[in-house]
Each structure stands twice: as structure tokens, then as C-alpha cells.
Amino acid sequence: MQVLRPPEKLTVSEWADRFRVLDTTSAEPGQWSTDRTPYLRGIMDSFTDPRVEEIIFLKPTQVGGTECLNNMFAYAVAQDPSPVLIVYPIDTLAKFTSENRLQPMMLLSPVLSSRFQPTRSKDLELQFDGMYAVIAGANSPASLSSRPIRFLFMDEVDKYPKNAGKEADPRALARERTKTFPFNRKIMQTSTPTTRTGPIWQAWEGAELKLQYYVPCPHCGQYQTLTFKDRIRFDKSLDYEQIRATAYYECIHCQGAIRDSHKPAMLRAGEWRAPDGSTARKRKTGFWLNALYSPWVRFGDAAVEFLTSKRAGPENLMNFINSWLAEPWDNTTVKLNSSKVLDKASGYEEGVVPDRTILLTGGVDVQKDRMYYTIRAWSEGMTSHNIRHGVVETWTQIEDVMNISYCARDGTEYFVNLCAIDSGYNADETYDFCVKNAEWAVAIKGSNTPLPSKYRLTKIDREERGLFGVSLYMVDGGYFKDFIFGRLGRKEDESGGWFVYENCDEDYAEQVTAEEKVTEKHGRREIEVWRPKTSHADNHYLDCEVYAAFAADCLGIRYMRYEPLKQEGETKTKKLGGGGGKQSWL
């Protein structure tokens, strides 16, 4: 009957508190206690939550992340035996971890040692009663294939090679092994982040639920997350040892001083929740934590590490951002926020054309169920003002927006001279529309790679739709983004500024600044490219402004000079005629 008795129903944290024993290589050897690192409880217990299939742990160093993974593995051995694959960055690290961490963990716990079969095991393949565990390096494709597994653990995924030998992404190869367990598999990946394009940050961005650890202030009781920026208080005039001893955390609600001695009670009372307050686990659940939560790190330690890293240079500062704050390193050349755009209000209301305007251009970004547009006024020195932007649903609405007149304060009427429309999403409809409205509309397509020139005109045929010789401009988006962001930095009294109308909306400003220019390595070369700040950032208005800037450049705005119209007793109208670059005044 004892043999047939099922294991007692426990969570991972409950099991670890009873049966896990830490060896002498740990900071605190002996019986495991989750109360020492209470934030790990929610992460570990997600392993036994039937709603969760994938766990993403975005972590710094010194918070117990590796032991969290080890506890899940040990739980599987003792409570739910099934094939396991644990992947480390390289095979030598996998072998070292197996010899010095995993096998000693099995031998120290009677519950685990009774199931472990050391005589039948190898360093990279451990045998247990009813299951096996493969310990693999991400650089070894053979160890990532051919075995069906139910539990997949991936440690420090940002340090994985991009390819496993001549095979594909090692994470993808490892995931393939879980296909035979579609309903009860568990995938856990954890890592310190590197950049926004790194695997762990992309996984975090793709999580269906993003949880952070909220702790109560010991003074006001209000819950908050611990963040380094503007919250760690210290006197810069002190030496490092004095800063370690005196630095404190300032509550965001009551501005009370939170000391290191308050941290244990705060951690025990903490809870995992999303910024919107939701806590219910989902299929793909992410957890984010920084080093300020660690019971082994003082607030002063973080302050000193920041000061020394900042003074030592970018590489050391990158280590602080990654390994202490668990944030991606932004090697940015150009980075602006929405407030920079809103600060560029011109004094003109929406729809009003600024004085001394020469011409208007438009840009349209076509999406699946809507179209974003912008209309920009241009004057000498390529000074420009956004006079209108918005979202419509039909081509007819785009036609209406681009063909109505826009008036200056003196009554002069202006019309959109050229509108550039993105053909990337719905090319055929865009070509049809531009052919029918060739006087003022032209189709464009953004290039993902730099072009020899700012833009290039090509001719395409759509025989099935009866369209021949359709003009299509290939546009270097990076060039025009540089143009926009460069002019955003100009002062009001400088020629060539880039402005918006008064009371411009926040969504527009957020989208215009949704990208940043970063330095990336391509082979042995470092190149600067524009990338979204986050994987899901909307940048439609930025694209619209790129298209409007291209249209103005295509019409030759940089060579034009303002000449006021002197027509008495008539309506004053300015329109530069001829879509596709023809220039004439009417």
C-alpha cells in the first residue's frame, strides 16, 4: 500500500521547505526556507498551477533565481516524475553544474536520493526512478534533439548562442522536444537581460501576464514596486563606505525613509501582481525582479555599485543595468520621449496653417482595419508644423481629408500638394487609389536597409489588375527619421524646426517617439539602426511623418522660398500642383 500511495499534494515552495537541503556552496547552507526569499514563492508555485504552461523569470543576480529552477527540477523528481531537459549556455557549464550543484542536491535530500540512480547516471544524463534528466549545453545540437521531454528548464538564455552548431535557435530546438506533451508540459526560462532584442526581454514582452513584486511601505502601508531611479537616496559627498551605511529607499507615496532593516517584513508581506492589479495566472506568465529585493543586497550596495559603474564607463554601467536592475541595456544614439514632442507646440491651433507656409504634404500608414494620416505644413529652411493628424477607416475618408482646404490666419487657402501612402500592407488597393488620384497621391514602400539615396523611383506592373507603369518610391526610412529627430532638437528661434499644434494629443506624441536609434553589431561591424523601444509599441504616426517628410523633399521644399500672394478682391489660394514631384504654382 505504501508503494501505491500517491505523493502528497504539495506546491513547489511547500515541498522545498520540507525536503530541500542546500550544500556548502550556497550562501546559506542547510534546510531551505522560502521565507528567506518570499518573492520566489509565487514563481515556484506557478510550476504546479495548471493554468501556467510557460514561466518567464526576468531576474538580476543574487536573488536566488538558479535555486528557484533547481527546486522545480527537484520537485519534478520527487512528486511528478517525467522526462526533464535542463539547458545551460554551453556544455562545459552544463557538466560543471551537474557535478557541483545538481548531483549533490540529489544526494543531500533523502527523498531525492532514494530516487536517484548514480551508478546508471552520467554527468549529462541523470537517471531516476521513472524518469531521466538530460543536462545540455545550448551549443550542442545533439543534446537538444531526439528525446521527448515534459519539463524544460532554460537557464541564462541571453547567453545562448544564436545557433546550436549548424542547427536553428537552441531554444526552438529544445521546445520541439515538448511536443509529445501538449497538455501538461512546463517550460521555464530565466535569465539576466542584455538588450531589448535579447531572448529573455522578448519573452517578457510576449508574456500574457507580466507580474511585478509589490511590497508595502512600513510607514504608510501603500504597496509599490522597488525601483532604483529617483528612489534610492544618498549623499554623494560621502565616501563609499558611508554611502553603504546611510543610503535608504524613499517611499513613492509618503516619502518615508525605508531602511534595510524594514526589508524582510516588506518582502514577507509582498505579492505578485500586474500594474493593473490583476493576479490570475495565464498560460504564459512572466515575473520581473531587480536586486533591490534581494535580502543579501543593501540599498547602499546598489548606490555604490551605480556610482562606480557610471565612473568606470559604459561596459560597467551596462553590467549594473543588466545584473542589478534586470533591465535591458539601451545602447542608444538617439532617444526621445513624448514630452519632447509636446514641448514643440507652435502656438497655432489644429487645422490652422502657420504664416509663411509654402506647401502642405501628407503621409498615410495603411493598417488592416484603419489608416493613420498626418498633414504637415512646410516653410523656408524646411521648418514644418503638424496641422492635422488622425485615424480613418476608408479610402474615401482619406480622399476627403487630403482634398479639403486648410486656411491660414489671413484667409489664404492651402491644399495638400503631395501625399505619400504606404503600400506595405495592402499594396493593390494602394496602387489603385494612387493611380486614380495621381495628381496628389503617390505609393511608397519603406526600405529596411539603407539606400544609396534618400529615395528611389521604380515602376511596377499589376497585369491582373490592368495597372502598368505604376510609380512606386522606395524610401529610406532611417534617413527621414534622422531628419525628424534632428529637427526636434532645434530651438524655436532656429530655422528648420519641427513643430506640432497647440494641445497636441499624447497618443500622437508617444507614437512619434516610439522608436530609438541603437548601435547593433552585424558581424564585425557596428551599425546604427532605428528600433521600436518595445516590441509592441505603436509607431504609425512616426511612419506617417516619415512619409510626409519624404513628400516635401520629393517636391523640393529645401530649395523653395516664400513669396506672399498679392491678390486683392479674390480668395487667396496656394497649391503646388502635380503629384509625383511635378512642381508648378497655380
pLDDT in tens, 75-132: 999 999 999 999 999 999 999 999 999 999 999 999 999 999 999 999 999 999 999 9
Structurally, how many domains does the chain consist of? 2
- Cβ–Cβ < 8 Å for 238, 292: no
pLDDT per position as a tens digit, 526-562? 788 888 876 556 899 999 999 999 999 999 999 999 8
Judged against a pLDDT cut of 90, whether residue 317 lies above it is answered with: no
| pLDDT band at residue 575 under the 50/70/90 scheme | low
Residues 52 and 194 in one domain: yes
Query: CATH code at 95?
Result: 3.40.50.300
What is the predicted pLDDT for the residue at 351? 94
Which residues lie below 8 Å from residue 369, measured CB to CB, with a gap of 6+? 393
pLDDT at 331: 64
Alpha carbon distance 68, 19 (integer Å): 14
Contact 485, 512 (CB under 8 A): no
Range of lowest pLDDT (34-43, 209-218, 438-447):
438-447
Asked if the structure places residue 315 within a domain, the reply is: no
Residue-wise pLDDT for 449-488, tens only, equals 777 888 988 888 776 666 677 889 999 999 999 999 989 8
Within a domain: residue 210?
yes
65 with 157, same domain?
yes
Residue 514 lies in a domain: no
SS3 552: helix
Which residue in this structure is represented by grid cell 522536444?
A: 177
Report the C-alpha gap between 500 and 492 in whole angstroms.
12
Sequence-distant (≥ 6) Cβ neighbours of residue 228 within 8 angstroms: 290, 292, 302, 306, 324, 325
Average pLDDT, the chain: 88
Give the span between the Cα atoms of 286 and 432, in whole angstroms. Answer: 45
Report which DSSP code applies to 215. E
Same-domain pairing of 59 and 199: yes
Q: Grid coordinates representing 287?
A: 515575473
In-domain check, residue 118: yes
What count of other Cβ atoms lies within 10 Å of the Cβ of residue 48?
A: 19
Residue 150, CA distances (Å) to 153, 187, 200, 558 in order: 10, 8, 21, 63
For residue 114, the model assigns a pLDDT of: 93
Whether residue 555 is found in the same domain as residue 481: yes
Q: Say if 257 falls within a structural domain.
A: no
pLDDT of residue 164: 60
Question: Which of 193-197, 380-384, 567-571 ranks highest by mean pLDDT?
Answer: 380-384
| Contact by Cβ (8 Å): 537, 384 | no
Half-sphere exposure of 392 (CA within 13 A, CB side): 16
Q: Is residue 5 part of a domain?
A: no
Query: Environment class of residue 396 by beta-carbon count within 10 Å: exposed (0-12), middle (13-18) or buried (19+)?
Result: exposed
* Helix residue ranges per DSSP H, 404-455: 427-436
* Cell numbers found for residue 85: 531537459
pLDDT digits (tens, 9 = 90+) for 398-426: 999 999 999 999 899 999 999 999 998 88
Please give the pLDDT value at position 149: 94
Q: Are both 421 and 565 inside the same structural domain?
A: yes
263 — pLDDT class (breaks 50, 70, 90):
very high
Across-strand partners of 509?
none
Q: Is the pLDDT of residue 384 over 70?
A: yes
Single-letter amino acid code for the residue at 322: N
For range 27-44, the mean pLDDT: 93
The pLDDT assigned to 526 comes to 74
pLDDT at 497 over 60: yes
Average pLDDT of span 493-505: 89
Q: Are 409 and 417 in contact (CB under 8 A)?
A: no
How confident is the model at residue 4, as a pLDDT?
Answer: 72
By the 8 A CB rule, do 34 and 17 touch? yes
* 352 belongs to a structural domain: yes
pLDDT of amino acid 582: 36
Do 391 and 287 belong to one domain? no
Residue 427 belongs to some domain of the structure: yes
Q: Do 282 and 392 lie in a common domain?
A: no
Interacting residues of 470 by C-beta distance below 8 A, sequence separation 6+: 431, 434, 435, 443, 459, 460, 461, 462
Does 178 share its domain with 88? yes
Instruction: Tell me the average pLDDT across 234-263.
Output: 94
**CB count in 10 Å sphere of residue 226:** 24
Share of the chain above pLDDT 70, in %: 92
Confidence (pLDDT) at 463: 67
501/413 same-domain check: yes
User: Region 308-336: what's the mean pLDDT?
Assistant: 81
- For residues 280 and 353, membership in a common domain is answered with no
Q: What percent of the chain has pLDDT over 90?
A: 66
Compute how many other C-beta atoms are within 10 angstroms of the C-beta atom of residue 216: 17
The pair phi, psi for residue 194, each rounded to 5°, is -120, -75
Q: Which domain holds residue 406?
A: 345-505+539-581
Query: Is residue 47 located within the same domain as residue 155?
Result: yes
Q: Within this chain, do residues 69 and 202 fall inside the same structural domain, yes or no?
A: yes
Lowest pLDDT segment from 181-195, 209-223, 457-471? 457-471
Cell 533565481 belongs to: 65
